[in-house]
Structure formats: C-alpha cells, structure tokens
Amino acid sequence: MNQFSKWIKWENRNNLDNIKFPGIYIIAISNKNLENNEFIWIQEIQYIGMTNSVAGLKGRLKQFDNTILGKTGHGGADRFRYEYQNYDELIKNLYVSVRYFKCDVKSNKPEDLRIMGEVAKFEYDCFALYTEQFESLPKFNDKKNSPKYSLTYGRKTKNG
C-alpha cells in the first residue's frame, strides 16, 4: 500500500505529484503532525474517496475543499461539514494522502478504460483494508451514521 503519497497537510495538497491524474485520496484528522510521514492505515482516517474525472485528483480535492468551506459539490465533504462547521479549525488537523493512476480519462482506449476500472476497484480494496483493520468504514464513508450538513443544518437555514 505504499503506493500512496506521504501524508500532507490539507493546505499543501496542491503540491502533491501527479494530481492531474485520477486516483484515490484518503483524508485523516489527527492532532499528531502527520506531515511527510509515510502512509499507513491509521484509525484517524476519516474518508476514502476516488475520482476518474477529467480534473483528476486536484479537481476532486478542490470540490472537497469548496464543500467544507460551505459550497456544494462533494457528498463526503458535506458529511464532514455536519460535524466540522469551522473550516479554519478543521484544516489545522486535516491531512491527505493520494494514489494516482496514470491514464487519459478522455480516452476510450482499452488500456485507459481498464486503468479507470482499476481506480474504482482500488477504492473498494481500500474500504476492505480499512474495515479489516478497524472493523468499520471510515467515519464519513459510513452514510448511515454520518449525516450531511446540507440535509440537516443546511435545510434549516434555507427554510428559516
């Protein structure tokens, strides 16, 4: 599993290599400084996500950031926002690690399509690895026990 990047503080995420490609991103909240530590499966992991979009990991992480800031566009980040409504406080302890997959997501070539399939499968492999170790999904991947801000507080705000 050391195909993942080292842990990096959230605000430094755009410095990660090859984030123009699709891949898996793993987000942790930790009071310990994880910056530049090798990736390992830790209980502080709060979310596992993937993207096969043209914007790659960079675009998906931007969507995540926009949503924890208060916009919309990322379901997992909407769950974070339910619990962490203060962006500045949250990002002090937010870390990310990524695993990119080199391919052309705009291509219909069999090799590119297979790599995009590997990305989707790898996300589920990551869920399985985390669950084997910690006996549950990461907190904000658990849709039954992790409500969305937009469907709770967000509705109350809109409807007065």
Please give the model's pTM, rounded to 2 decimal places: 0.92
The pLDDT tens digits along the chain (160 residues) read 459 999 999 999 999 999 999 999 999 999 999 999 999 999 999 999 999 999 999 999 999 999 999 998 899 999 999 999 999 999 999 999 999 999 999 999 999 999 999 999 999 999 999 999 999 999 999 999 898 988 877 655 554 4
Residue with tokens 């790599």: 115
DSSP states of the chain: -TTSPPPEEGGGGGGSTTTTS-EEEEEEE-SS--TTPPP---TTEEEEEEE-STTHHHHHHHHHHHHHHT--S-HHHHHHHHH---HHHHHTTEEEEEEE----TT---HHHHHHHHHHHHHHHHHHHHHHHHHSS--GGG-TTTS--STTTHHHHHHH-
